Structure 1
Amino acid sequence: MKDQPILVIGSTGKTGSRIAASLKLKGFAVREGSRSAAIPFDWEQPDTWGPALDGVSSAYVSYFPDLAFPGAAEKIEALIRVAKASGVRKLVLLSGRGEAHAEACEEIVRHSGLAFTLVRAAWFAQNFSEGYLQGPVLDGVVALPAGDIREPIADVDDIAEVAVAALTDARHDGELYEITGPRLLSFEEAAAEISRHAGIPVRYQPITLEQFHDGMAEIAGPLVADVFTEICRETLDGHNAYLTDGVQRALGREPTDFSEFCRRAAASGAWKQAA
């Protein structure tokens, strides 16, 4: 029923903001799930979960900061208990491709007794245009501990479109959609494509995990650095270097190519140099 709200947890994030906007355009009632929302949702304050989930038909679950963080699985389990008590019918979980902690959370949702769809996403293209690598792109050097591995970089717009379909159509119940782009790219190739579309020089600089950790610790502190370094160790080792058909199965079309992402990002001004 379109008048029964859909909760979008993480509604200010890369995927959640797109999902909330798309649902509204399609005429669905949306309850935004963020700390600043009219009915706030905060992962660190479980007493906010019940009011946010009360009366909703389904919920999109994006865990902040990442499912690899300590305590994430326990919070997903607790959220499910509150969701069931609130009468929620379905959960759509955003998961990370090739991450053991994320897949453990998938299993919790799979065995929750609720209807579900699992959206397991590859590395986000938008990390370069509206995430933590936007600044380095503008500075001309993208440094990552990825060596020369190739990644099927996924467009967040594709991820959001799959999630919207899952939230609004029961035909997606019980499905696992693994979302990748249509081709494998090294980060050197990705930087070259960004440079060509943005009209600015951008190069990829491979670094060690230790160098990545030190840089992240300066920005975000040791805990965040520890977790994200382990995510890099786990996912940027080449084992994700293959394509999947999640977009095709969910949406009946091909996934968005990285070059099209670059074209749109450049047109939007994401890589416009400050005057």
Structure 2
Amino acid sequence: MTQLSTLPDATIQRPDLRPALIVGASGKTGRRIADRLDARGVPVRRAGRSTEPRFDWTDRTTWASALEDVGLVYISYQPDLIADGAVADIAEFVRLADKAGAARLVLLAGRGEPEAEHAGRVVHAAQADSTVLSCAWFDQNFSEGGFAPEVDAGSLTLPVGEIGEPFIDADDIADVAVAALLDTTSDGENPHAGKTYDLTGPRLLTFAEVATELGGATGAAIAFHRVTHDEYRAILASAGLDAPTIELMSTLLTNLFDGRNSSVTTDVADVLGRPARDFTYFAAAFAERHR
């Protein structure tokens, strides 16, 4: 594989001079990707409910204006590609992106989710060059996501047992996404076109081991509590989450932790020319922020 993303920024050829649309630019990956593109001098259009133009996955009338005159598109779907109607939304978005003349599409997809795989096939059928990033659970779910408040309070409660997950750092996802958006070979080709990258960290960790590693890094114990799925749903309800969110979380934690994702890949290294960040990298950063 051509590993252009490891070269100095000045040697990376811009595939398109039009702005890059980052859907989900305030999210864990979108924010990092937008910042990296900014640093490289790529014009960025951050898309969300509070941006101008506004973008809302629940309002298709906002999509075309966001896509107008963009060359590169990063797609992060909310709330998740397993949600009802998500694949149909992706199909319509891809149609509009092709109509707008976008050159490259990069889709963030959940690893092991059949619906995400379906969405990936839809994106690969686009007229534009396409790359799908099939990602394991993020390290940053424990610092920026829904688990963060409880972890900060010293515990982690989930309906998941001794199943290993190859947690991946969002910075690695962002680096691969930027490569997929920008890398161009000397003969003008996109080396990532048509690729689906299976992105994982370098080792498997159970959620209990995550709690232990984060506690060890901070010097304050983080207790892991395993509960039943019914107990977990009750916990989410008592926290004020709405029924669709509870159903989504329950589905994710039921379906994806059956061992299907308990393997690691070298795709991060294959694209970037360096190993994926180990969880200890995240744990050290997590501890630094909590001092």
The whole-number CA distance in structure 1 between the counterparts of 2:60 and 2:23 is: 13
Q: CA deviation at 1:50?
A: 0.8
Preserved CA contact (<8 Å) 1:217 1:224 = no
Aligned ranges 1:77-96 → 2 under 5 Å: 77-96=91-110
1:122-162 CA deviation, whole Å, 9 max, x = no partner?
01110111111111112211011111111111101101111
Q: Which residue of structure 1 lines up, in the alignment, with residue 81 of structure 2?
A: 67
Q: 2:281 aligns with which of 248, 260, 265?
A: 260
The answer to whether 1:240 aligns with 2:254 is no
Q: 1:8 aligns with which of 12, 15, 22?
A: 22
Query: Secondary structure in 2 aligned to 1:178?
Result: strand
Q: Structure 1 regions of 5+ residues with no counterpart?
A: none
Q: State the identity %.
A: 39
Q: Which residue of structure 2 lines up, in the alignment, with residue 46 of structure 1?
A: 60
The whole-number CA distance in structure 2 between the counterparts of 1:137 and 1:261 is: 14
Query: Secondary structure in 2 aligned to 1:24?
Result: helix
Q: Which residue of structure 2 lines up, in the alignment, with residue 29 of structure 1?
A: 43
1:156-200 CA deviation, whole Å, 9 max, x = no partner?
110111111101122111111111111111111111110011222
Q: 2:149 aligns with which of 135, 157, 165?
A: 135
Aligned residues: 270
1:201-247 CA deviation, whole Å, 9 max, x = no partner?
10211111222222223332111111221111111122211101120
Q: Which residue of structure 2 lines up, in the alignment, with residue 206 of structure 1?
A: 226
Q: CA deviation at 1:259?
A: 0.7
The answer to whether 1:120 aligns with 2:140 is no
Preserved CA contact (<8 Å) 2:55 2:62 = yes
Preserved CA contact (<8 Å) 1:119 1:177 = yes
The whole-number CA distance in structure 1 between the counterparts of 2:37 and 2:22 is: 10
The whole-number CA distance in structure 1 between the counterparts of 2:230 and 2:259 is: 18
Query: Secondary structure in 2 aligned to 1:241?
Result: coil
Q: Which residue of structure 2 lines up, in the alignment, with residue 175 of structure 1?
A: 195
The answer to whether 1:216 aligns with 2:236 is yes
The whole-number CA distance in structure 1 between the counterparts of 2:116 and 2:237 is: 23
Task: Tell me how large the CA RMSD over aligned residues is.
Answer: 1.3
Preserved CA contact (<8 Å) 1:214 1:225 = no
Q: Structure 2 regions of 5+ residues with no counterpart?
A: 1-13, 184-189
Q: Which moved more, 1:105-114 or 1:59-68?
A: 105-114
Q: Which moved more, 1:214-223 or 1:52-61?
A: 214-223
Preserved CA contact (<8 Å) 1:143 1:204 = yes
Q: CA deviation at 1:118?
A: 0.4
TM-score (norm 2): 0.90
The answer to which structure, 1 or 2, has the higher relative contact order (CA under 8 A, 6+ apart) is 2
Q: CA deviation at 1:112?
A: 2.3
TM-score (norm 1): 0.95
